[in-house]
Structure 1
Amino acid sequence: MVKKLITAASLFFIYGNINAQIDSLKMNLDLRTRAELDNGARTLISKGKSAETTVVSRARFGVDYYYKNLEIYFSAQDARTWGETTSAANKNQNFILNEAWAKYQVSEKLGLKLGRQILSYDNERLVGSLDWAMQGRSFDALKGIYKFNPNSKLEAVVTYNNDDNDLNDLPEKEIYSIAEAGEITKSLQIIHYDYSGKNKFQFSAIAMNQVLQNPSGAHYDLLTVGINSKKYLENIGFFGSAYYQTGKNTLAQSKNAYQFSANVDFLIHSKFNVILGTEWLSGRNFDTDSGENKSFSPMYGTNHLHNGFMDYFYFGNSHFNSFGLNDYYLKSNLKFSPNSILQANLHAFTSNGKLGFDTSGEKIPSYLGTELDLVFTHKIGKSITANLGHSFMFSGKSMEYLKNVPEPKNLQTWSWIAFRIAPNFKIK
C-alpha cells in the first residue's frame, strides 16, 4: 500500500511539472533599495570635500509564459536615484523594458532566443548582467543554444546596433554613436562553449568579435578569446581564466592585450573558506606608441565582482585603454548560519604598465593602493535579503596621479546598506 501511494504521488508530481511547461505563467518581483555614504568610492575624494549620501532603488517586474515549445518572457523596471525627478513629474525617463524575448525549442537539443535579453557567461569577467548597478545590462540579440548532452552546451549570439536616426546616416554608412567601455560596437558576435564534468570540474571557452565603428564611419574588428576552468578536490579548489584581445579598437589602434587570473580556494571548514589569488589585466606604458593599444578591456563584464567593491577600475568608461591593473587579493567567507554570511576581501593594486616620471624626474611607482571590503549578508525569510557593507581604500601616491586628484583625503571610505525583496510565484 505504501509503495502504491509513493508511486501515485510521484506520477502526480511528474505530470504536474510536465503540464506546467505545457501552459503555465510565472511572475517575479525584484525590489531593491540601497543607501550609500560616498567618502571616496570610484575615485579619490579631495580634502575639504564632504561625503555624499545617495539612495538608489530598482523596481523590476517579470512575467514568464510557457506554451509547449515556446517560452515568452518580459521584464519592466524603474531604476532611479531618489530625488532626481520631482514628486509631480509628468514623465518618467527611468522606466524601461529590461527584457523582452521569445525562446522556441526547435528540438530536444536546439533552441532559439530572440529579443532583448541578458547575456552572462562564466564569472562575468567579459560579459555579465551588471546586476550590482540598478539599471543592469541587457542586449538586443539573437541567440542559438545547442545542448550536446546534460553536461555540455554551445551558445552563439549576434547583435546589430543602430540609432534609427536617418539624418545622421550617409549613403555609404549607418552611424551608431553609443560608446560602452570606450568602444562603439556596431555588431557583436559571441560563441561560448561550457562543460561540467565529474568531481566539480568545469571548463568553458569563449570567442567574442566586435565590429567597432569609428566616428568617421570606418569599421574594425576587435576579437577576444578566452578560457575559464575550475576544479575542486576534497578541501581545496583551483580556478582561473586567460583571455587575449587582438584586432583594432574604435580609434583604429592595433590591439594586443591579455588578461590572466589564478586562484586557490582553501575549504578550511564547512562554514569558512579563504581564496588566495591574482589577476593581471595588461595596460599601456607611458611611452607606448599612439597607434598601439596594449590595454585589456573587460568589455561588458561586471567588474564589481572582481577588482574591489569600491569600483576604482573599469567602472563605466573609466580606466579602459589605460595603464592596466595587477590585483593581488585574499578573500574569505564566514557562515554564521545558513542565513548569515560575512565576506572580507583584501586587495593590493599595482599598475600593469609603466606610469612614467613625475615633474622632478623620479619614476612613478607602480603601487596604487590597498582596499579592504567588508560585507555582511542576512536572509530574512524566503524572499528578503539585507546587506551591510563598508570599504576602505588606502591609496598610494600613484593613485593620485592615475585619478588626477592631487590632494586627496588620507583615508577613502564607502559605506552602504541595502535591502532586496524578490518573490517568485506561479499563477497557473
Structure 2
Amino acid sequence: MVKKIIIAGILTFAFSNAHAQMDSLKMNFDLRSRGELDNGVKTLIPKGKSAETTIYSRARLGVDYYYKNLEIYFSAQDVRTWGETASTTGKNQNFILNEAWAKYQISSKVGVKLGRQILSYDDQRLIGPLDWSMQGRSFDAVKGIFNLNKNSKLEAVVTYNNDDNDANDSKEREIYGIAESEEITKSLQVLHYQYSNSNQFQFSTIVMNNVLQNLSGAHYDMLTVGVNFKKYFENIGIFGSTYYQTGKNTQAQSKSAYQFSLNADFIISSKFHGIIGTEWLSGKNYDTSSGKNKSFSPLYGTNHIFNGYMDYFYVGNYFNSFGLNDYYLKTTTKLSPNSILTANLHAFTSNGKLGKTAKNENISSYLGTEVDFVFQHQFGKIITLHLGHSFMFGSKSMEFIKNNYQPKDLQTWSWIGIKIAPQFKLK
C-alpha cells in the first residue's frame, strides 16, 4: 500500500509540472490505526469469553484538481484488519475507490456534482460519511447545488443502484439485493434546504425517499421528512431535530415511525461546556402486528456519534426493533491548547413495550447505563492521538433484547487511535 501511495504521489507531481494551465492541484493523506480491546462492544459479552484485541487501519490518498469552473476529486483507500492478509499474499482485496467525482459550477448560484461522493447533512443523524468506521461511506450519485442567497442553500440528490449479477433477474424484473440498515434501496432521492445567518441560527429541512426493493423485485417507497435547528445565545445553545418515516419498507410492512431530539448546550467557560439532552427513536411493541413497522431507522446516519460509543444501538444492529429513548449528559473539557477530555453519560430505555413476565407484568423498559471517556491530544498540525474507555451497565432487559442471559458482570471497551492527515498544494 505504501508503495502504491508513493507511486501515485510521484505521478501526480509529474502531472502537475507538465500542465502549467492548472489552477490548482492539491493532495491529502489520511493514515490512521486503531487498536481496540472488546470486552462487550455492540452486545453483552457472555461469561467465560475472553476479551478480544483487534487493530484496524486505513490508508487513504486524495487528489483534488481545479480548473476554472471544474473540480475533480479522486480518493482511494486500503482498509484492513491487521493480520487478515498473509504476509506473502499476491492480491489485495482491501484496496477500493472511496470517491471519484466531478463538480462543475454552471454559474455563481448553480453547480452539479457527478460520481462516487460522500453525502452528509446536518448532524449526520440521517445521512453522513461514517468516518468512525475505517471504510467510511460514499454513494454513486448526481447532486444539484443551488446557492439561493448568502444565507440559503438547496441541494437535490439522486442515486440509482444496480449490480452485474443478471443470473438473479426474473423475466419481468431486475433484482437488486444489497441491503443497508436492513433495507434494499434501488434508488435514493434527497432534497435538503439549509438556512443560516450571522446571529448563530441554523435551520434545515430534509426530504429523503428510498425506493426499496423486495426480494421478489417489487418496489416500495419509504419517505423520511425531517427538521433540524440550532440557535446559540451568549452562554447557551439550543439544538435538536425531528423526523417522521412513512410508506413501506423492504419487507412490505407499513411504516409509521418518528425520531425526536432536544438539547441544551451550557458554555460555562472557554475551557468547559456541557450538553444535556434526550433522543427518542420509536420502536415496535411486543404485540405489534407483523404487517406494521413502527421502528425509526437512521438509515445512512453516522450512528456512532449518538447513542453511546459502545455501539449497542443502530451500528450494524438493532434496526426494526423496540426503539430507544436516550437521556444523556455530555461534557467537554479543554485541558490545554492541544488536549481535550470528553465524558458522556447515557441512560437507555426502550421506546416500545418489550413484553410480559411470567407474572403477567410488563418487562422493565430500562436497558442500561453507559459511560464514555475520550482523551484527545494534537501533536502539531497533522497528528492526533485518541484514547478511549467505556463502561456498559446493562439491565435484565438488555439481556433480553441482546438474547444473552449470562453476561459478564462488567462490560467494557478500551481503544487507542492515531491519525496522521497531511494536506499540501502541488500547484
TM-score (structure 2 length as normaliser): 0.94
Which amino acid in 2 is paired with 1:151? N
- Secondary structure of the structure 1 residue equivalent to 2:148: strand
Distance 1:161 1:417 in 2: 37
Q: Deviations over 1:103-131 (max 9, x none)?
A: 00011100000000000000000000000
Checking the alignment, whether the CA contact within 8 Å between 1:295 and 1:322 is kept in structure 2 is yes
- Secondary structure of the structure 2 residue equivalent to 1:62: strand
* Pairwise CA distance, 1:363: 2.2
Checking the alignment, whether the CA contact within 8 Å between 1:103 and 1:114 is kept in structure 2 is yes
Distance 1:97 1:151 in 2: 34
Is 2:286 aligned against 1:286? yes
Hey, what does 1:151 align to over in structure 2? Answer: 151
Hey, what does 1:178 align to over in structure 2? Answer: 178
**What runs of 5+ residues in structure 1 fail to find an aligned partner?**
1-19
* Pairwise CA distance, 1:360: 5.0
Checking the alignment, whether the CA contact within 8 Å between 1:41 and 1:311 is kept in structure 2 is yes
Hey, what does 1:324 align to over in structure 2? Answer: 323
Is 2:33 aligned against 1:33? yes
Distance 1:170 1:408 in 2: 46
* Pairwise CA distance, 1:21: 11
Distance 1:152 1:384 in 2: 35
Distance 1:366 1:95 in 2: 44
Which amino acid in 2 is paired with 1:417? I
Which amino acid in 2 is paired with 1:213? Q
* Pairwise CA distance, 1:336: 1.2
Q: Deviations over 1:356-381 (max 9, x none)?
A: 02345442100000000000000000
Which amino acid in 1 is paired with 2:422? P
Q: Deviations over 1:177-236 (max 9, x none)?
A: 010001000000000001111221000100000000000110000000000000000000
**What runs of 5+ residues in structure 2 fail to find an aligned partner?**
1-19
Worse-superposed segment, 335-344 or 166-175: 166-175
Hey, what does 2:393 align to over in structure 1? Answer: 394
Hey, what does 2:194 align to over in structure 1? Answer: 194
**What percentage of residue pairs aligned between the two structures are identical?**
74
Please report the RMSD computed on the Cα atoms of aligned residues, expressed in angstroms. 1.1
Within-5 A mapping of 1:226-375: 226-316=226-316, 318-375=317-374
Distance 1:163 1:406 in 2: 41
Q: Deviations over 1:230-265 (max 9, x none)?
A: 000000000000000000000000000000000000
Q: 1:21 to 1:258 in 2, by over 3 A?
A: farther
Hey, what does 1:169 align to over in structure 2? Answer: 169
Distance 2:372 2:225 in 1: 31
* Pairwise CA distance, 1:91: 1.2
Q: Deviations over 1:335-355 (max 9, x none)?
A: 012211000000000000000
Q: Deviations over 1:381-400 (max 9, x none)?
A: 00000000000000000000
* Pairwise CA distance, 1:150: 2.2
- Secondary structure of the structure 1 residue equivalent to 2:399: helix
Which amino acid in 1 is paired with 2:151? N
Which amino acid in 1 is paired with 2:341? L
Number of aligned residues: 408
Distance 2:92 2:157 in 1: 32
Which amino acid in 2 is paired with 1:337? S
Distance 1:128 1:141 in 2: 14
Distance 1:319 1:342 in 2: 29
Q: Deviations over 1:309-341 (max 9, x none)?
A: 00000012x111000000000000000122110
Which amino acid in 2 is paired with 1:297? S
Deviating beyond 4 angstroms after TM superposition, the runs of 4 or more aligned structure 1 residues are: none
Worse-superposed segment, 411-420 or 332-341: 332-341
Distance 1:66 1:163 in 2: 32
Hey, what does 2:6 align to over in structure 1? Answer: none
Worse-superposed segment, 164-173 or 179-188: 164-173
* Pairwise CA distance, 1:30: 0.1
* Pairwise CA distance, 1:165: 1.6
Which amino acid in 2 is paired with 1:412? Q
* Pairwise CA distance, 1:89: 1.3
Q: Deviations over 1:128-161 (max 9, x none)?
A: 0000000000000000000012221000000000
Checking the alignment, whether the CA contact within 8 Å between 1:21 and 1:68 is kept in structure 2 is no
Distance 1:358 1:27 in 2: 60
Hey, what does 1:11 align to over in structure 2? Answer: none
Which amino acid in 1 is paired with 2:383? I
Which amino acid in 2 is paired with 1:26? K
Checking the alignment, whether the CA contact within 8 Å between 1:376 and 1:388 is kept in structure 2 is yes
- Secondary structure of the structure 1 residue equivalent to 2:414: strand
TM-score (structure 1 length as normaliser): 0.94
Distance 2:357 2:138 in 1: 42
Which amino acid in 1 is paired with 2:395? G
- Secondary structure of the structure 1 residue equivalent to 2:400: helix
